[in-house]
Amino acid sequence: MNQTPRQIGEFQDWETRYQGVSVEQLPWFTPDPDGDLLKTLETHAIAPGRFLDLGTGPGTQAAWMAQRGFQVTGSDLSRTALDAARQFCRERGAEVELVQDDILNTTLKGPFDQIFDRGCFHVLPPERRNHYVQTVHGLLDPKGWMLLKCFHVNETTMEGGPYRFDPETVESLFSSHFRVLESRESRFEGSMAHQPVALFTLLQPLKRP
């Protein structure tokens, strides 16, 4: 069952959230590759392809993937986040296409071979989740992979913040368009001492309904 965060409103204006701070100070910032992303690439021997880092924020994951030979697009609502991402990618010599885009009203053109969502889905308004599921399904190649990382219901230390999910809820939200290949408890690496409990889900698209 989902929990309603007490301060979900603070996630509604993402542009303001990024203005006036260096991205390194934001709780989700990590210069390192996400552990679940790395594990998935290795376990499933996923070859470089067209990779969408959805809600790329500071662009750290997009940069890593470009350096691994993927053809990367990073999208985000916030122009200021994209400026930071551009700088991060430039400093690392990573070639990434950075696009300002609202995934709930997207102008992105697929197909992508992989879509990675590290912390975007869990901040979206609950009534838009079905729309999100249809959208990412439409952007993915039929043989593609969807990697979803959100807060887990077992994240009880942090006050407020993103919505929390359990595996059953994610499966029921995505089951009209995806099948779940893996679902496991994990951690959100970031700049905080406390690493929030995460739910990592690997999905593959069903044929278009």
Ligand X SMILES: C[S@@+](CC[C@H](N)C(=O)[O-])C[C@H]1O[C@@H](n2cnc3c(N)ncnc32)[C@H](O)[C@@H]1O
The residues that touch ligand X, with contacts defined as CB under 6 A, are 14, 28, 55-58, 60-61, 75-78, 81, 102-104, 118-120, 123
- What is the nearest approach in angstroms of ligand X to the Cβ of residue 93? 19
Nearer to ligand X, 109 or 207 (CB): 109
Nearer to ligand X, 7 or 209 (CB): 7
The residues, any chain, with a CB within 8 Å of residue 126's CB and separated by 6 or more, are 2, 163
The residues pairing with 103 across neighbouring beta strands, listed in sequence order, are: none
Residue tagged 């985000």 (tokens):
76
| Strand 50-54 relative to strand 164-165, pairing | unpaired
Nearer to ligand X, 50 or 106 (CB): 106
Name the closest residue to ligand X (Cβ).
Answer: 57
194 phi/psi in degrees, rounded to 5: -80, 125
Nearer to ligand X, 103 or 146 (CB): 103
- What is the nearest approach in angstroms of ligand X to the Cβ of residue 151? 10
Distance in angstroms (rounded) separating the CA atoms of residues 207 and 17: 38
DSSP 3-state of 168: helix
- What is the nearest approach in angstroms of ligand X to the Cβ of residue 207? 26
- What is the nearest approach in angstroms of ligand X to the Cβ of residue 64? 11
